[in-house]
Structure 1
Amino acid sequence: MRIAFDLDGTLIESAYALPLKSKWPQLVRKFCGIESLREGTLELMQYFQQQGEEVWIYTTSYRNTFYIRILFLLHGIVISGIINQTVHNRILRKNAVWPLCSKYPPAFGIDLLIDDQEGVKIESERYGFKMIWIKPEEKDWTQVIIDEYQKIKRQHV
């Protein structure tokens, strides 16, 4: 299964303060521009990779895909694929899906999207793709995702 995570508000702090964790000292992060990840991100992604799943990033950010790949490598996470806003626009325009929705995982072979935006949840219902909606304030967010993933996985069998 190909599982994609949103960045801002899901894995990286944005408008809502998230509990963050980084193995890099603050001075190094600030000087090198290394963003901290939400606490539990490394363990969650390792869990999915141990399950044999591909871990992707799907963001509406214009961050460079190379930067995103390096950011996760610096945190010890190998990402299988990255869709940023530039890639999203190029592929969906080419396939005449754009601008119907902000994210459309089926266009990239993504089976499950994990995102914090309620609007994306509405789009998932409207366009029929699987999504786990995780609120930024959710304290036990990794367990919520694992529980929902396991329900979805059982439905696929």
Structure 2
Amino acid sequence: MAGTVAAGKAGGEADLRVGLVGYGVAGAFFHAPLIAATPGLRLSSVVTRSPERAAEVGEKYGARAVGDAEELWESSDLVVVASPNRTHVPLTEAALRAGLPVVVDKPLAATAREARGLIELAGERGLMLTVFQNRRWDGDFLTIRRLLSSGELGAVNRLESRFERWRPTPKGGWRE
């Protein structure tokens, strides 16, 4: 299904229909706005069980809200997984098995073994699988890229960059 649409896109056909799994912070503040702002993409379906969020995706993006991921496979050409971290692997695997390319919010998986399994499945099916990397478009990274390509920094052997996060009481998530 996705291959047919992708081939049709080259001929100026309709936008790719993007299904978004999850409309919490990542889905609402990063993924949905970026999908909506990207030429050639249309946010078509969003998985959310919240009536308020369902109304918002309809009003803001003209997208259909659905109760679970299985409902959006048939109405999507591409899936973005922005659900809780523990669901990334099973949802990504299900989307790949449904024949859909997938963009997964970080982390891709909890273990290297799980990540390799997803990569192998995507490869076997000839589907794109990538991890959302929003930081590569931040001003500091773009400046470093420009400086590297211009040669102004000379030969760079190592770059270390950190984003610090402090909470008085850690919640136990992957960021902490």
Q: Confirm or deny a common fold (TM above 0.5).
A: no
Q: Which has the larger radius of gyration?
A: 2
TM superposition score normalised by structure 2? 0.40
Q: Select the structure with the greater relative contact order (CA < 8 A; seq sep ≥ 6).
A: 1
TM superposition score normalised by structure 1? 0.44
